Amino acid sequence: MKLRDKVAAQADACADGSARMKAAGVKYLQGHMADLNGTFRSKMSPFKLSTSGEPLNGILYCVTHGDGQPIGDVAFEAPIAEEKNGYPNIQAVPDVSTLRQHGWSPDVASIISSGYLMNGDPCPLDARLILERVDARLRALGFEASVALEYEFGVFHADHDLMRQGRFSELKPWGQSLRNYDLTRTGDYMEFVKEYMRRMDSIGIGVSGFVSEYGFGMYEFALAPKPALEAADDAVRAKLHLRELCAERGLVATFMTRFQPPGKESACGAHQHISLWKDGAPVMAGEDALLSDTGRRFTAGILNRMRETHLLFRPTINSYRRFDRGAWSPVDVTWGYENRTAALRVITTPTPAAARVEHRVSGADINPYLTVAAILASGCEGIEGAFELQPESIGMESREDRVLLHDNLPDAVADFAASDFCKATFSPEFCHHYLLGRQNEISAFETWKASRITDFEWQRYFL
């Protein structure tokens, strides 16, 4: 949909939303737009809605993880924003359906925008528009996706001096134990969780559960299922507002995949639950608690493209610190009923409405718009091509014909770069841009290593 069509389609909803918010006492507006890394970049202004949006520097799509820490590479150059074109604007266009008043701060509302080029075309780099397009493809086949995301994360007591110095590993974890499913980890845990749930409920985000995970400072929240685009919106909003609540209470949250050394305690995953519905009825459950034909084809499609889309599910250097099937972080292209060591855990009980696929590969550092789009697009291909599902993986068995996922970022980059499926799904322009971002991550890490003598070297060679 071009910009002029989007503006026309939202005109009435914009006027209605503006009137409702003003009548409810809203004075300020947070405008959100997701960057390439799946984090909101936000602006706060006096409340005013405009369906035509506002100009925004296209370099938003080029910002690096950590905004350049620790080597100063704030952004990478790409065709959308570089010296040759003078870093032009795009148009950030709000989606009025995402307008929410904040129950915990009722004079504030927020809205999520997508990017359009200044000629009115949808920006090919906008992850939200990519998911919208892929979801439309699934709907054209007669199916609707129901998506729920779970995030594991760390919470620490904020020490701003340590944080400014980059000494994050010295921060004190929130809570005195590492037990999972523990309500007494810290005296303010229950009030924190209740307040978080109240806040999410006020903006229409259901939190199905909030638990302590195995590890000092480790926690998890699970979100209620929603249609695909709304589920991804909810996920990014939920992360933002968790960080906000932590900051108010002298805490800091991290969604980096592993903040403990490999082999010690847990790492942070992001499990994605996907079910298919048709005419309001679930379609993934067959007889005897097995997958239906549609469910089998959908699952086979996801597996078929798992290796070449792997980069989206493990997009950073740190992502591969969480690579251990024994710790329930999959390393191969496998599926199994209720098998948490497989890449796809298939759940078909207790009712047909609960039947779904749980994609277990990704860490908490994903961009959910991109991962959900990859799952749905590959699943669509499986349905369209009537793909046959490979044999189930039982427990930790290692079949000789299993396909391994790459355990490092450079090899995952190579698979993504060679994929015609990814180019067709996400567009050649997006793939080129995304690869520039991932290659920048590799280069940044190598540059950092080259400028330092490691602890290994000091201890091994000094004497």
Positive or negative torsion for Cα 280, 284, 290, 294: positive
The one-character DSSP state at 259 is: -
**Token pair for 214:** 């195995």
Q: How far apart are CA 87 and CA 80, in angstroms?
A: 7
Parallel, antiparallel, or unpaired: how do β-strands 144-157 and 270-278 relate?
A: antiparallel
**Token pair for 334:** 């496998």
CA torsion 114-120-125-130 (nearest 10°) is 60
Q: What's the per-residue H, E or C state across 438-463?
A: HHHHHHHHHHHHHCCCCHHHHHHHCC
pLDDT of residue 324: 85
Q: How far apart are CA 318 and CA 365, in angstroms?
A: 9
pLDDT of residue 114: 96
Which residues does residue 109 pair with via DSSP β-bridges, in sequence order?
A: 29, 101
> What angle separates helix 368-384 from helix 228-248, to the nearest 10 degrees?
160
User: Percent of the chain beyond pLDDT 70?
Assistant: 100
Q: How far apart are CA 235 and CA 229, in angstroms?
A: 10
Would you say residue 227 has pLDDT above 80?
yes
End-to-end CA distance of the chain: 66
pLDDT of residue 1: 83
Mean pLDDT of the residues in the chain: 95
Quick: pLDDT tens for 129-187. 999 999 999 999 999 999 999 999 999 999 999 999 999 999 999 999 898 899 988 88
Parallel, antiparallel, or unpaired: how do β-strands 40-46 and 28-34 relate?
A: antiparallel
pLDDT of residue 235: 98
CB-based contacts of 372, cutoff 8 Å, min separation 6: 131, 145, 147, 228, 231, 232, 272, 274
CB 443 within 8 A of CB 451: no
pLDDT of residue 61: 95
CA distances from 263 to 154, 324, 422 (A): 16, 9, 33
Q: How far apart are CA 80 and CA 124, in angstroms?
A: 10
pLDDT of residue 193: 97
Q: How far apart are CA 109 and CA 24, in angstroms?
A: 10
Would you say residue 399 has pLDDT above 80?
no
Reduced to 3 states (helix: H, G, I; strand: E, B; else coil), residue 360 is coil
pLDDT higher for 316 or 2? 316
Can you give the length of the chain in residues?
A: 463
Least confident of 113-127, 282-296, 319-333: 319-333
Parallel, antiparallel, or unpaired: how do β-strands 270-278 and 108-116 relate?
A: unpaired
Does the bond joining 410 to the residue before it have cis omega, within 30 degrees of 0?
no
Q: How far apart are CA 308 and CA 21, in angstroms?
A: 44
pLDDT (mean) for 417-421: 98
Among 150, 157, 274, which Cα is nearest to 211's?
150
Would you say residue 398 has pLDDT above 80?
no
Would you say residue 397 has pLDDT above 80?
no
- Cite the beta strand spans of 224-343 per DSSP E: 226-227, 251-254, 270-278, 281-282, 335-337
Would you say residue 249 has pLDDT above 80?
yes
Q: How far apart are CA 343 and CA 328, in angstroms?
A: 9
pLDDT (mean) for 204-232: 97
Q: Which fold has domain 136-426?
A: Creatine Kinase; Chain A, domain 2 (3.30.590)
CB neighbours of residue 21 within 10 Å: 22
CA distances from 80 to 37, 90, 390 (A): 16, 9, 41
User: Percent of the chain beyond pLDDT 90?
Assistant: 87
- In the chain, where the domains are located: 3-123, 136-426
Would you say residue 400 has pLDDT above 90?
no
pLDDT (mean) for 105-120: 96
pLDDT band at 253 (very low <50, low <70, confident <90, very high): very high
Quick: pLDDT tens for 174-190. 999 898 899 988 889 99
pLDDT band at 108 (very low <50, low <70, confident <90, very high): very high
Question: Which CATH code, of 3.40.50.720, 3.10.20.70, 3.40.50.10440, 3.40.50.1000, is assigned to 3-123?
Answer: 3.10.20.70
Residue with tokens 């250097």: 317
> What angle separates helix 127-140 from helix 228-248, to the nearest 10 degrees?
150
Would 3-123 and 136-426 be classified into the same CATH topology? Answer: no
Half-sphere exposure of 249 (CA within 13 A, CB side): 20
Quick: pLDDT tens for 348-392. 999 999 999 999 999 999 999 999 999 999 999 999 999 999 999
pLDDT band at 92 (very low <50, low <70, confident <90, very high): very high
Residue with tokens 């082999």: 263
CA torsion 244-314-153-261 (nearest 10°) is -130
Please state the pTM of the whole predicted model.
0.96
